[in-house]
Amino acid sequence: MTLILKDKAALRAWRATLAPGQKLGFVPTMGALHAGHISLMEQARAAADVVIASIFVNPLQFGPNEDLSRYPRPIEADLAKLEAAGVDALFLPSVEDMYPPGASTFVEESMVSLPLCGAERPGHFRGVATVVLKLFNLVQPHLAVFGQKDAQQCAVIERMVRDLDVPVDIRRGAIVREADGLALSSRNVYLSPEDRAAAPLIYQSLRAVEAAYFDGEHDAGKLAALGLAVLARSERIVPQYWEVRDPESLGAIAKVGSRGALLAVAAHLGTTRLIDNLLLSPGSAAKAIG
């Protein structure tokens, strides 16, 4: 049975009961769990002796016109999924417990957080970095697993951990997709039937660019234009960005070279914003990340 820890004091008391030799794996989430989240917990379970997850809808990473108030919070269903996955404990704090009155300290990464979603959602990654560092300080895990669908988030956290000497092994878990290629996301529930029917074009655009790359097209601008052309097949999809980026720094590149590239896309379908990406790896089949 998954133990529910509702505040920092309960978490610290539970953490103190673990034996020094036990390896603790951690999966931070915002809830509304799906098979992608469960795959991260399974990855943590395979690498650790004890697994803890957190559910916290972090207000710091939502902009003023974003979906904080309507973000899905099906806690009973989430608990059932955690128990089925064999997660040992769940940290379920309140906003007041995580951010005491007058809290004025934030964490900001200033390179990999700037392009892509960072440019479109100012302050988002400051909120991510702040809450993740707080969670790491509280949970003190040996390893933490993040979904690679949020590739830029992974890059920001990896850079923060490196730069601030945080003793946590960061691991990425592969994207889990629907049968038609749509990446699993808690926000998929917002899609209308018509938008849901159009949404697989996002992944199809990534695969079309992947195919063009392996056919010999390495110009980043031409590859991005091809991706946008695929999205244009549906008037329901409004692209926010379609980029070919360095896979580590996320900096702009003119051509895909020996380091490969991250293909990254964000688009709106109605009021729902979806992201997806794919890693081009020279000399081998590409693999989805995000």
**Active-site residues: which are they?**
37
Alpha carbons 113 and 178: distance in angstroms, whole number: 28
- DSSP annotation string for 124-175: HHHHHHHHHHHHHHHH--SEEEEEGGGHHHHHHHHHHHHHTT---EEEEE--
Alpha carbons 56 and 29: distance in angstroms, whole number: 7
* Full strand arrangement of the beta sheet holding 24-29: 3-5, 89-91, 50-55, 24-29, 143-147, 169-173
- DSSP annotation string for 31-69: S---HHHHHHHHHHHHH-SEEEEEE---GGGS-TTSSTT
Q: Do 101 and 215 form a contact (C-beta atoms < 8 A)?
A: no
Phi, psi of 6 (to 5 degrees): -95, -5
Alpha carbons 1 and 246: distance in angstroms, whole number: 43
- Long-range Cβ contact pairs of 107-112 (< 8 A, separation 24 or more): 107/133, 107/160, 107/164, 109/156, 109/159, 109/160, 109/163, 111/159, 111/249, 112/152, 112/155, 112/156, 112/159, 112/249, 112/250
